Amino acid sequence: MVQEATSRLRPRLQRWFAPYFALDEVGRDIVLYGLSGCFALGIAYTSSLALYREWGAIAAPGYFLAVLLAALLLGNRHRLGVRGLFTVRSLLCGLVLLGTLVVPLGMEIAWRTTTPNPYLHVQPEVTGIERAGQAFAHDQDPYQVVVKNGHVRPEPGIKSFEEFFPYLPLMAAFGYASSTTAPGQVTDARITFLLVTLVVLIVAGCLAPMSRKRRLRVAQCLLVLPMGALPLVTGGDDLPVVALLLLGLVLTSREMDLPAGLIFGVAAAMKFTAWPVALLAIFFISLRKPGQKKWAMLAGFLAVLVPIVVPYAVLNPTAFIQNVVLFPLGLAGVPSPAASPLFGHLIVSLLPSFHKTYVVLIAGIGCAVFFRSLKRNPPRSSAAVATLAGWCALFAVVVAPSTRIGYVIYPISFFIWGECLPAAKETSPNPAELVR
């Protein structure tokens, strides 16, 4: 079913974006940096969040400067040769990375530690993860919230939604540094998010069976363009998960099943958003292999996931379910700060009494479409897994009752990987080619 929709969509997208596909690599850089600059400028003037406006004001000049430099490069690309052109494009990408990610992140962290209201310079998920890391460091359970009669009694100075830790236990490791006596400028969880993301992406890039141009484009999308830079500066908890899933798919494509299972287990022990990719890879690629090797990925996955997640779920099941299941679905009686004006959030905002029914209904529809697609066209490669996961993630982002625009990092990344990994042309949709 998903494959049929993709087949019908591909010719239309090819016609719509034909001018983009006709450009060379430098021309596409100009388009991507230009659109990113316009997006940053729009965020700077229209966002309701001061944190986003600050990022937009800092990042927009960097993107537009990159457009100017890329335009100068466009006129001299024939003199540089293929290798020289790639080197200059990589250097330009690094400069944009500094201007749109490293510098804004450093400024936000500095402002957070020096201003009277630090919450203006960080998203709530960062502070929540840091509190969970502090609890983890002191052998305490990060899942402490229990909703009684639809109300939460938060600690003084903490909003109700900040009492929740809507992640799986391993995410608390990113906040562990905040439990130390080191200065706040170096213990901000966003620094750990960025470092882990960079390391994992470098390893995945070295192992990925793709060209240098593709590697540069993937790095561009995940780190430099707004879909990567903005989340890393303001929050950033999704990017390490995305990077780990990419590494897991790369290892799967190289038939390194046990390491892939371990990596998928690490990602799945951080956030439920990693589970679809991990389970699809395990059940539709690994377990279909002959002999004992087919169990390697599942064994690696469970070896990491079970000892990390199960103890917390068993020892305090009520608080665990309220934190990681009910609160993200908007069923804990406390509004989530993740409230972008997408379809699902608009529905439950206009019809609050329909909230529970909507969640059940949309979950049923999604599962029916998903399993029908699996039955008719099961994924048989890492690329197919990435593509199917991309459509699932896109559906979830649009219809979820509590979501953020930043969550589009998942479907976009999955579509890109579906194009870049082996056998991608059999199953990947054309949206991925927009960043080729």
Q: Domain for residue 95, yes or no? A: yes
Of the candidates 66, 7, 372, the one whose C-alpha atom is nearest the C-alpha of residue 226 is: 66
Contact residues for 147 (Cβ-Cβ < 8 A; gap 6+): 322, 326, 332, 333, 334
Tokens of 149: 């009669």
- The residue segments making up the domain with residue 41 are 21-116
Q: Domain for residue 300, yes or no? A: no
| CB-count burial class (<10 Å; 0-12, 13-18, 19+) for 75 | exposed
Q: Domain for residue 31, yes or no? A: yes
Tokens of 236: 């950033």
Contact residues for 30 (Cβ-Cβ < 8 A; gap 6+): 23, 67, 70, 71, 74
| CB-count burial class (<10 Å; 0-12, 13-18, 19+) for 65 | middle
pLDDT tens for each residue of 251-280:
998 889 999 999 999 999 999 989 989 999
Residue 255 backbone class (left: φ over 0; alpha: ψ -120 to 50; beta: rest): left
End-to-end CA distance of the chain: 26
Higher pLDDT, 37 or 284: 37
Q: Domain for residue 362, yes or no? A: no
pTM score over 0.75: yes
How many Å apart are CA 170 and CA 158, to the nearest integer?
23
Q: Give the count of alpha carbons within 13 A of 81, CB side only.
A: 2
Q: Domain for residue 170, yes or no? A: no
Q: Domain for residue 102, yes or no? A: yes
Number of structural domains in the chain? 1
pLDDT tens for each residue of 362-414:
778 777 877 777 777 788 888 888 888 888 888 887 777 666 666 788 888 88
How many Å apart are CA 22 and CA 206, to the nearest integer?
29
Q: Domain for residue 314, yes or no? A: no
Instruction: Kindly report the number of other CB atoms within 10 A of residue 354's CB atom.
Output: 12
pLDDT score at 209: 80
Instruction: Kindly report the number of other CB atoms within 10 A of residue 157's CB atom.
Output: 7
Q: Tell me the torsion sign for CA atoms 384, 388, 393, 394.
A: positive
Rounded-to-10 torsion of CA 333, 337, 341, 344: -40
Average pLDDT over the chain, rounded to an integer: 82
Q: Among 112-116, 229-233, 298-302, which is the least confidently predicted range?
A: 112-116
How many Å apart are CA 115 and CA 267, to the nearest integer?
34
Q: Domain for residue 66, yes or no? A: yes
Of the candidates 266, 221, 231, the one whose C-alpha atom is nearest the C-alpha of residue 248 is: 266
How many Å apart are CA 261 and CA 265, to the nearest integer?
6
What is the average per-residue pLDDT within 14-23?
69
Tell me which residue has tokens 């929050």: 235
Tell me which residue has tokens 């439990």: 179
How many Å apart are CA 27 and CA 378, to the nearest integer?
37
Instruction: Kindly report the number of other CB atoms within 10 A of residue 10's CB atom.
Output: 15
In this structure, are residues 339 and 345 in contact, taking their beta carbons and an 8 Å threshold? yes
